Amino acid sequence: MKKYLAIIKATWQRALTYRISVISYRIGEMFEVFFLILLWSAIYSTQDVLKGYNLREMLTYILFGALITVVVRNWMYEVVSKDIKDGTLSQFLVKPISYLRYMLFREIGRISLAFILSVSTQLFMILIFSDRFIFNTSYLYLLEILVMVGLAFITEMFLSYLIGMVAFWTDEVDGIFTTLDRLKRFFAGGYFPINLLPAIYIKISFILPFGYSFFVPAQLYLKKMDLATGLKGILVQIVWIILLYLIIKLVWRRGLKRYEGVGI
């Protein structure tokens, strides 16, 4: 366990040496949320309700969703694909440590600093728009959301790791990631709540793992979804995590064979 704490510590330290980067990213995030708020405020200037959302709910959806996004997202795929491409992976293969675990803890270390800063900035945004933000204080809902976000964090890491491993076969991972990221964001309700679309989209989003990184927890927060449905969602997440883990194991084994064979 100590070795994993050391990884987290090293990652923290690294982030501290790049404080300007870490902080400037946060400013960009604030802008993004701000633009969305502008857009929806403009749309709601001519109507009060849109597909069951009033302006306050829509703004809460955006602000709360942005908060979750900054918690669950990661850029692990970049590190994994780079390590594979330039052969850094070899350094891990010769050491008594699992690369997957190394990466997961590295990510936890990285996210923890970004987390504190991002959460602070997003909370700051909520504070600015607090007169238009709906506060949900139901413990049960918040607890379920917490579990869901925790699982979404793991799901996102596994997905990213999988995409990174594509580098075993091709050098060009960025395109795949970007495409998948857009699809993910759509089904996650990151562009707009999926309930604005026909019901089938919600069903798809509920089965796919992506919605749990934005849409579903935001729905729960707005109490547009009941606790029982949320619980079903958590089960779907668990199934996905197990599935992704198995796929990772499989892809890793096959990828490594290739890595071993070609010596990239």
Partner 1 sequence: MASFKALFRREKSYAHAVSEINFSIGEGELVGFLGPNGAGKTTTLKMLSGILYPTEGEARVLGHIPWKREPAYQKQFALVMGQKNQLWLDLPALESFILNKEIYGISDGEYKENLDELIELMDIKDILEVPVRKLSLGQRMKCELIAALLHKPRVLFLDEPTIGLDVMAQKNIRDFIKKYNREKKTTIIITSHYMEDIKELCERVIIIDHSKIIYDGKLAELINRYAGYKQLAITFNEQGVKREQVEPYGKIMEYSQYRIIFEVERSRAKDLASAILGSSLPVDDIFIDEIDISEVVRRIFNSNN
Spatial neighbors of 145 by CB under 8 A, at least 6 apart, are 217, 220, 221, 230
Contact in structure between 113 and 16 (CB atoms under 8 Å): yes
Q: Which residue lies nearer to partner 1 by CB, 14 or 223?
A: 14
Q: Which residue lies nearer to partner 1 by CB, 174 or 260?
A: 260
Q: How far is the CB of 179 from partner 1 (least distance, A)?
A: 18
Nearest to 154 by CA among 78, 84, 103: 103
Q: How far is the CB of 18 from partner 1 (least distance, A)?
A: 7
Q: Which residue lies nearer to partner 1 by CB, 51 or 95?
A: 95
Q: How far is the CB of 94 from partner 1 (least distance, A)?
A: 5
Q: How far is the CB of 58 from partner 1 (least distance, A)?
A: 41
Contact in structure between 126 and 67 (CB atoms under 8 Å): yes
Residue carrying structure tokens 């997440």: 237
Nearest to 70 by CA among 20, 108, 115: 115
Residue carrying structure tokens 């499989």: 250
Q: Which residue lies nearer to partner 1 by CB, 94 or 200?
A: 94
Q: Decide: helix, strand or coil at residue 65.
A: helix
Spatial neighbors of 233 by CB under 8 A, at least 6 apart, are 148, 206, 211, 212, 216
Residue carrying structure tokens 């987290």: 8
Q: How far is the CB of 72 from partner 1 (least distance, A)?
A: 25
Distance CA 86, CA 137 (A): 49
Q: Which residue lies nearer to partner 1 by CB, 93 or 143?
A: 93
Q: Which residue lies nearer to partner 1 by CB, 9 or 232?
A: 9
Instruction: Tell me, rounded to whole angstroms, the distance of Cα 86 from its chain centroid.
Output: 26
Q: How far is the CB of 5 from partner 1 (least distance, A)?
A: 8
Q: Which residues bind partner 1 (CB under 8 A)?
A: 2-3, 5-7, 9-10, 13-14, 17-18, 86-88, 90-91, 93-97, 257, 260-261, 263
